[in-house]
Structure 1
Amino acid sequence: MSSKRYTKNNKALTDQQRDFYEQNGYIIIKNNVPHHLIDELCTRFVEICENRVPYEMPLIIAKDKSLLEKGYTGQHAVNKFQDILHDDVFFKYACYQAVGDVVESIIGPNFSGVTSMFLNKPPFGHPDLSIHPLHQDLYYFPFRPINTIVGTWTAMEDVNEMNGCLFAVPGSHRREELYEHDYPKQERRNRFYHGVQGFENEPRVNFIMDKGDTVFFHPLLLHGSGVNKSRSCRRAISFHFADSNSYFIDITGTIQEKIVKEFEPQYKFDYMTIYRRKGRHVRGNKGSFLNYQSNL
């Protein structure tokens, strides 16, 4: 029997890489996504931003208010696309074999996409709206088991401290605790960007990545991203995958209820229906997770 708790098999990871993920809660895979696919995804992003091609719901375009106030338009005012799994161009990322093989090594062979974002961190905006505060992604998820969820974040150009790379608290997933989240105390804030408080002195690692590198990370890992101080956009694509037989939980009365009450009016559905609508099966058995007939 395997002694590993947070990974499943050696489909695409060596024992050494699995040990690193077990210990730290993340693993960076160099050259994981080819440049031609990244360029195709970036083109799709720009074309939608500039109204050159149609798109369909549930894709949502989120814009930086401080840049709109300065008169920026198109791609230069957008900070992300949310829920892009049902766009057939962006879905190519979820289906790309080298991404899926690492996902399979971490959570097993049967999985669905549950969140999906094209992240665009423009320059020249208000610094408070350029950061993503330290947080845990599990805070947003009304489903379990925890260890059969994994996030991916692929750099679509070189990322570093200057243009707002990711950072994380290595090993924080092993505490196996979901912390209280709330909006940070700052002048301006992005809607839904909750964060944790009291971890300012925790040792952090910056994820310095080249175009095509992907970081895979545990949903309890404390992580965030910094301000873009460069003169160009910092782009990435980020999905979460979960085992296709995951199950929904009742989060009434828990620390997650706060985000639920904020999300539901935006989407006009209950929280479980939101995830069933925006999720999409990717690999292996389809399972019951996203089935509308499955219940608590």
Structure 2
Amino acid sequence: MLKSIDEDSLKAAQAILYPEELFQFDSVAEGIWGGFEAVTDTAVQFFHEHGYLVIHDAFSPEEVRETLDGMLYLMDGKNPDYRGIQYEPTLVRYRSELPAKERRDIIRKIATFVNFEPRLKAISEHEGLMTVVQRLIEDTPRLFQDMGLIKPPHIGSEKPWHQDCAYFNLPLDTPVVAAWIALDEATPENGCMHVIPGSHREGPMVHFHRRDWQICDTHVPVNREVMVPLKAGGCLLWHGLLHHGTPANRSNLRRRALQFHYCPESTGSIDTEERLEVFGSEGKDVEC
């Protein structure tokens, strides 16, 4: 693994840059089995109350394999028109030196790919997923963001606690649903998702530019958080205001996932200034 990279660079990439107590590992999120067809009205109510819904067996092994093949096709540069690859910041300078299979393990994410890879577009439009998202937002869903989150072994970086809506120029009352699809098993060791149940009902949080655009570390109620381990094919749905994040991956296991964001088809937009009036810290008596 990454034999072409010098030892000092690897050590820098493996450094933990956040207080490790930000992620607890003693509580596991509830979930359901039976695929999207098992999402009952009770499960929908759970989503609205807690801000998330775990479906452990949402996608078949065949669907996972097809999706991974599509992801690797883009990661390996086989579509010359695709430019959406983002690398782990400390190792990006090695991207042109590594062979394709080794280069996969310095990629942090891929983004905006559904129009470049039909296998990834297909899973974003999966009938079962769309049916459930429509029930959650009570409207026809529109995909407005697509990402592949790689979290490579040994060097996969933390995603600090945040609310997704802090990133989007959407009207503040827009119902946003994220769908996070595990393509590898997501475990406590390789950086599975962590969420704070019910935090979406507390409204927008001020975000700060620290390690990322994030909720201040000292504002995270870690005593309430739960982790969401998933087998490959599992799906986590969450509300756009739910507090969530992932720790670094220092295991030898990959943790590849897709993440899609949906809003109602008729949703308009706001400008960045309007969004930052709510989620930004400027002009407010807050500090981090």
Distance in 1 (CA, whole Å) between partners of 2:260 and 2:59 is 14
1:248 and 2:269 equivalent? yes
Distance (Å, rounded) in 2 between the aligned partners of 1:207 and 1:215: 8
Deviation string for 1:238-287 (max 9, x for gaps)?
0001111111123425526999xxxxxxxxxxxxxxxxxxxxxxxxxxxx
1:40, CA displacement in angstroms? 1.4
Residue matched to 1:235: 256
Q: Could you tell me which amino acid in structure 1 is paired with residue 132 of structure 2?
A: V
Question: Does the 8 Å contact 1:64/1:78 carry over to 2?
Answer: yes
- 1:166 equivalent in structure 2: 193
Q: Deviations over 1:182-223 (max 9, x none)?
A: 233xxxx5xxx3110132443111001111111110000000
1:142 to 161, 169, 173: 169
Tell me the equivalent position of 1:219: 240
- Residue 143 to residue 200, structure 1, CA distance change in 2 (3 Å): closer
The farther-off stretch of 244-253 and 158-167 is 244-253
The alpha-carbon distance between structure 1 residues 230 and 258, as it changes in their structure 2 partners (threshold 3 A), is same
What is the distance in 2 between the residues matched to 1:146 and 1:217? 16
Task: Say if 1:142 and 1:37 are closer, same or farther in 2 by CA, change over 3 A.
Answer: same
Give, in angstroms, the shift of residue 107 of structure 1.
Answer: 1.1
For the residue of structure 2 that corresponds to 1:54, the secondary structure is coil
- The letter of the residue matching 1:195 is Q
Q: 1:1-296 to 2 correspondence within 5 Å?
A: 13-51=39-77, 53-57=78-82, 59-68=83-92, 73-87=102-116, 88-125=118-155, 130-144=157-171, 146-176=173-203, 178-184=204-210, 189=211, 193-197=212-216, 198-202=218-222, 203-252=224-273, 254-255=275-276
Measured in 1, the distance between the counterparts of 2:61 and 2:140 equals 27
Counterpart Cα distance in 2 of 1:201 and 1:216: 21
Structure 2 residues without counterparts, runs of 5 or longer: 1-35, 281-288
Aligned partner of residue 215 in structure 1, secondary structure? strand
Q: CA deviation at 1:108?
A: 2.8
Alignment-mate amino acid for residue 81 of structure 2: E
CA drift at 1:118: 0.8
Change (3 A) 1:230 1:151: same
**Alpha-carbon offset, residue 162 of structure 1:** 0.1
Contact 1:154 / 1:238 at 8 angstroms: preserved in 2?
A: yes
| Post-superposition offset of 1:147 | 4.7
Distance across 2 between alignment mates of 1:143 and 1:68: 31
Match of 1:195, SS state, is strand
How far 1:109 sits from its partner (Å)? 4.3
Contact 1:157/1:210 (CA < 8 Å) preserved in 2?
Answer: yes
CA distance, structure 2, for counterparts of residue 221 and residue 96 of structure 1: 24
Aligned length: 237
Q: 1:239 to 1:254 in 2, by over 3 A?
A: closer
Structure 1 unaligned segments of length 5 or more: list them: 1-9, 260-296
Tell me, in whole angstroms, the C-alpha distance in 2 between the residues paired with 1:20 and 1:143: 25
**TM-score, normalised with respect to structure 2:** 0.75
Q: Distance in 2 between matches of 1:254 and 1:111?
A: 22
Matched-pair contact (CA < 8 Å) for 1:139–1:256: no
Q: What is the DSSP-based 3-state SS (H/G/I as helix, E as strand, rest coil) of the residue aligned with 2:194?
A: strand
Q: Match for 2:60: what amino acid?
A: P
Q: Which amino acid aligns with 2:86?
A: A
- How far apart in 2 are the matches of 1:19 and 1:37? 28
Q: Once the two structures are superposed, what CA deviation does each residue of 1:114-144 show, in whole Å capped at 9, x if it has no partner?
A: 000011011222xxx6100000000111113
